[in-house]
Amino acid sequence: MNKEITSRATDYSQWYNDLVLKGELADYSAVRGCMVIKPYGFALWENMRDVLDKMFKDTGHVNAYFPLFVPKSLFEAEEKNAEGFAKECAIVTHYRLKADPDRPGKLMVDPAAKLEEELVVRPTSEAIIWSTYKNWIQSYRDLPILVNQWANVVRWEMRTRLFLRTAEFLWQEGHTAHATRQEAVEETIKMLHVYADFVEHYMAVPVIKGVKTPQERFAGAEDTYCIEALMQDGKALQAGTSHFLGQNFAKAFDVKFSDRDNKLDHVWATSWGVSTRLIGALVMAHSDDDGLVLPPRIAPIQLVIVPIYKRDEQKAAIDTCVQELMRSLKALGIRVKYDDNDNARPGWKFAEYEMKGVPLRLAIGARDLENKVVELARRDTREKSTIPLEGLSQRIQQLLEEIQQSLFNKALSYRDSHITPANSWEEFVSLLDTKGGFIAAHWDGSSETEEAIKEKTKATIRCLPLDNKQETGLCILTGKPSVQRVLFARAY
C-alpha cells in the first residue's frame, strides 16, 4: 500500500479524497464548496466529453449554448421545477460595486445598481431554454429540436465533496422538443441507453438501467430514467439521468405548434444530463490503495515509457528506439508519454504513474535494447512481463483492450455479488449494515413507505429496473401487497 494514501478499509471517504488530490485530478479552491479541476483531471474529462459528444452527434443532436443567468420570473414559471431547486439557487441582485466610504480600499455593493429583476444562476437550464424554444417553434416542420449544451451549473450545496457534490460543476444537458408523446418517450429511453453504453464500454463501470419513483424523479418531469452504479464501499451512485418532461415546460412557457392537421398543441419535451460526477464514480469503482486505476479508453495517458540508463550514449540509443516506437503507437491512436525528465529517478516515476492510474508502464534500459526487449507493467493487476520489441505496438494495443475488459469484468463481478434479495425488515436492515450494495425488496408503492424506509435506514429506492420481472410479495416495512421487487441502496 502507498503510505501517502489512507486505505479503503480504514477510511473510505479519506481514501477517495487522497486519490483525487494526490492523483492530481482536482484541488480545493478559494471559493468554499467549489473545486479546481487540474490539468490531469481536465484531460480525463475532455476524453469523456469528446466520446459523449460524438455519441450525441451520431444520434442526431447538435450543440448550442444558453445564458448562465435565468430571470427569476422565468425560473418560477414551472412550479415543480422551481420548488425542486429553490433551496440550491444562487441569486444575482446587483450589477456593480463601488468604493466603500467607511472602509478605505474596500468595495461595497452599489445600492443604485440593483437589478430590476433578480437573476438565478442556472442550477439547470429548462426555464431559459424553453422560453427560447417558444420563439423557435411554430409548426410541426420545426420539430424535433435535438439540442445539447456543454456548460457549468451552480447548485448551492452545503456539504461538498470533490467531483461528487460541489457548488459549481461541469456537465452536459440535452433539451429536446417533439411533436408527439411517443417520440419524446423514445428519445428519453434512447439517451438512457447512450449513457449506459458510454459508462459501461468506456468507463468500464456496469450500470443498472431503471426508472425512478415519483419521489425521486426530476422536479418537473413525468418520468425520470436513470443508470445506477455501485461503488467499492457498497454504496450506489446515480451516474446519469434522462427525463421525460411531458408537456409541463411547454405549457409553462406556452410553447405550441401547428400539427399536420393545422391544430395547435403543446410540444413534448425531454432533458438528460451527466456531469463531472462521473469522474468521482470512476475513481471509486476501480482504484485501489496505491492510487488511481483508469480504464484505457478514457485515460489521459494510456502508456508511459520510462528510460533507464547510466550514460549519455545509452540514453541516445534508447531515445532513437523510443521515437520509432512512439510513431508506431501514435499511428494506432495510442496516447503515449515518454518521460525522459532527468530530474527524477525511475523508481519515483514508477510510483508517480502508478498513483495516476496510467494503464501500462514500459521500462527500457541499455541491456533491454541489446536483447531487443522491454518490460511492461500493468496497473490493474501489477503483472510485469518481458516483451520483444518486434510487434510491440500491436501487443500494447491488445493489452490495453485486455485491461479495459478486465476492469469491467471485475466491477461487474463485484456488482452482481452485491445484488441481494431481502424478504423481511430484519434481513433488509442487516444486509444494509453488513454487506451493502443493492437490496432487492418488495415495496408497497406508496411515497409514505418509501420516505419511512429512508428515514429509518438512509436507504433510498435507486430504481425500478427496466427489465424487472413482476413478482408478488409483501412490502418489507408495511406487509402490504407488492407486485415487484425494487432496488434499495444507500447512495452518494
Residues 201 and 329 in one domain: no
Structural domains of the chain, count: 3
Let me know whether 243 and 331 are in one domain: no
Q: What is the pLDDT of residue 465?
A: 98
Distance separating alpha carbons of residues 221 and 189, to the nearest angstrom: 14
pLDDT of residue 159: 86
Q: How many CB atoms lie within 10 A of CB 82?
A: 19
pLDDT at 44: 98
Pull the grid cell for residue 49.
466529453
Is residue 89 included in any domain, yes or no? no
In a domain, 414, yes or no: no
Domain contains 436: yes
480 belongs to a structural domain: yes
DSSP 88: G
Q: What is the CATH number of the domain that holds 29?
A: 3.30.930.10
pLDDT of residue 444: 97
Residue 183 in any domain: the answer is yes
Residues 184, 281, single domain; the answer is: yes
Q: What pLDDT is stored for residue 459 in this prediction? A: 98
Q: Are 216 and 251 within one domain? A: yes
Output phi, psi for 320, to 5 deg: -60, -45
Q: Which residue has the cell 426555464?
A: 127
Domain that residue 217 falls in: 12-71+130-286
Whether residue 86 is contained in a domain is answered as no
Say yes or no: 148 and 259 in one domain. Answer: yes
Q: How far apart are CA 391 and CA 359, in angstroms?
A: 19
Residues 427 and 393 in one domain: no
Mark whether 391 and 448 lie in a shared domain.
no
d(CA 380, CA 338) in angstroms, rounded, equals 20
pTM of the entire structure? 0.96
- Quick one: cell of 389? 520489441
If asked whether residues 475 and 329 sit together in one domain, one would say: no
Query: Same domain for 20 and 138?
Result: yes
Domain holding 382: CATH number?
3.40.50.800
* Residue 372: inside a domain: yes
Q: What CATH number corresponds to the domain at position 467?
A: 3.30.110.30
Residue 58, C-beta contacts closer than 8 angstroms, at least 6 positions apart: none
Same domain, 335 and 391: yes
Nearest partner of 358 among 411, 290, 415, judged by Cα: 290
Instruction: Write out the chain's pLDDT in tens, 492 residues.
Output: 787 899 999 999 999 999 999 999 999 999 999 999 999 999 999 999 999 999 999 999 999 999 999 999 999 999 999 999 999 999 999 999 999 999 999 999 999 999 999 999 999 999 999 999 999 999 999 999 999 999 999 999 878 899 999 999 999 999 999 999 999 999 999 999 999 999 999 999 999 999 999 999 999 999 999 999 999 999 999 999 999 999 999 999 999 999 999 999 999 999 999 999 999 999 999 999 999 999 999 999 999 999 999 999 999 999 999 999 999 999 999 999 999 999 999 999 999 999 999 999 999 999 999 999 999 999 999 999 999 999 999 999 999 999 999 999 999 999 999 999 999 999 999 999 999 999 999 999 999 999 999 999 999 999 999 999 999 999 999 999 999 999 999 999
Report d(CA 233, CA 11) in Å as an integer.
10
Please tell me the predicted confidence (pLDDT) of residue 3. Answer: 76
Spatial separation of the C-alpha atoms in residues 96 and 115, rounded to whole Å: 10
Which cell numbers hold the place of 76? 418560477
Beta carbons of 442 and 485 less than 8 angstroms apart: yes
Q: Looking at the structure, do residues 257 and 343 belong to the same domain, yes or no?
A: no
Please say which residue of 255, 286, 317 terminates a domain.
286
The pLDDT of residue 158: 79
Which of 189, 179, 259, 171 shows the shortest CA–CA distance to 467? 189
292 within some domain: no
Q: Are residues 185 and 252 in the same domain?
A: yes
CA 29, CA 217: separation in Å to the nearest integer? Answer: 32
